[in-house]
Amino acid sequence: MTGARTRSARELWGGHFASDPAPLMERINASVGFDKRLWAEDIRGSIAHARMLAARGVITEADRDAIVRGLEEIAREIEEGRFVFDPALEDVHLNIEARLIERIGEPGRRLHTARSRNDQVATDLRLWVKAACARVDASLRELQRVLLDRAEEHAATVMPGFTHLQAAQPVTLGHHLLAYVEMFGRDRSRFSDAHARMDECPLGAAALAGTSFPVDREATARELGFARPMANSIDAVSDRDFVLDYLAAAAICAVHLSRLAEELVLWSTPQFGFVRLPETFTSGSSIMPQKRNPDAAELVRGKSGRVIGHLVALLVVLKGLPLAYSKDMQEDKEGLFDAADTLELCAAVAAAMLAEARFDPARMRAAAELGHPTATDLADWLVRVKGVPFREAHGIAARAVRRAEELGCALEELPDRELLALDARIDARVREVLGVERSVASRTSSGGTAPVRVREAIAAARRRFLGEAQPAIEAGG
């Protein structure tokens, strides 16, 4: 401990209370155990506030210099692990203020002029969430890069495409992976939108009504990297939409990560055999020596529930709160911090797993032939070449599938006589569309699975997501 804490929260409140809080009150009231993560933002906000107060003549330049110097020294204490956070002082804000007064004396008592903990914590938390948006954007960008690299490697690798988890039509692995690139691109855009909406500074709103001191809210907003001050002082201290925005984007992103993880779990089973996950991201069994369990993928899948739960929990906390600030809002932080940590970890794990995963093109190619996946190609050929109405062509293809099942062969292995028996308009040219490679190659529509389109889509996605078209969220603002 850097020095004895001689002040309690009651002393900082003033003389209205004659006794200290009950021990149980201290336990339920204290938040420093988790909100100490805001220490850097708190010091940054306090320095900006002190500089503004001095510029407006509310405090002297000497007081400002002492405050800034003291806060910078406290930052070093925290960085070096020499600062002890005291639960008796409730939160990170009172801990830092008490230490500042202890270090510099009277100037430290002037720092809180024209400020409340209400606008202070709202400002600190916005700064933290803005940085969290930038961090997760960087993690998702890296995940997209890995997905694009693997998609390029497997642009022509044929695999079964599924609907209802039943073989539907052949696609390429590259095309399948590009679907996740798009999903995580939308996630990045949601965090970017959230970041833009939260780019307003609450500082100067004080408790809820503003302040009678001649503060310059534009100056503090500018120094802290915000686009503007918040327009309404009540909204400034009571709003937690920015946390909900982050958690909503995080919950959707966690669902996308979970879907990717679920496919890796399925594909790594011996029954599928599409992929072998790296040993560094799997585990063994305490009783079955042959097992390689996809634990990392399962945990990514499972942790999505935590992120979703944190969004729901905060929605429930906020739904009945009157304006402006209530202590219930202290419950906004633990779930937020855990959601951010969880999401960043899961995105990093997914990227690392995919980078080292070994796909099995031969196994995928063999699976792509199961379930008569070129039946739609037969129907499309009848429409395109013979002018058959699609619903009629659909029925002919369905009968072809049934006949292939009766004969125990693949659709493309049906003899010519069998195809002619189904419909006299079918001729030998139909063989051009019945193989899985030919089926895949024929899907040349924009966004389709043909390898030529997949390679074009990869190049376009690199420009959109890794180039200038979707810039990264600025970390410093």
Catalytic residues: 164, 285
Reported as type and span, the H/E element at residue 166 is strand 166-172
Amino acid at 320: G
Backbone angles phi, psi at 389, to 5 degrees: -55, 145
Provide Rg for the chain, Cα atoms.
30
Give the Cα separation of 171 and 151 in Å (integer).
12
Instruction: Give SS3 for 447.
Output: coil
Backbone angles phi, psi at 143, to 5 degrees: -65, -40
Q: Using CB atoms within 10 Å of the CB of residue 429, give its burial: 0 to 12 exposed, 13 to 18 middle, 19+ buried.
A: exposed
Strand partners, 169: 161
Q: What DSSP letter does each residue of 378-410 carry, written as one string?
A: HHHHHHHHH---HHHHHHHHHHHHHHHHHHTS-
Contact call for residues 306 and 332 (beta carbons, < 8 A)? no
Beta-carbon contacts of 438 under 8 Å, excluding residues fewer than 6 positions away, are: 377, 432
Q: What DSSP letter does each residue of 167-213 carry, written as one string?
A: EEEEEEHHHHHHHHHHHHHHHHHHHHHHHHHT-EE-TT-TTTT--SS
Instruction: Give SS3 for 106.
Output: helix
Give the residue among 356, 345, 299 at the shortest CA–CA distance from 146. 356
Contact call for residues 87 and 33 (beta carbons, < 8 A)? yes
User: Which DSSP letter does residue 329 get?
Assistant: G
* Ramachandran sector of residue 81 (left: φ over 0; alpha: ψ -120 to 50; beta: rest): left
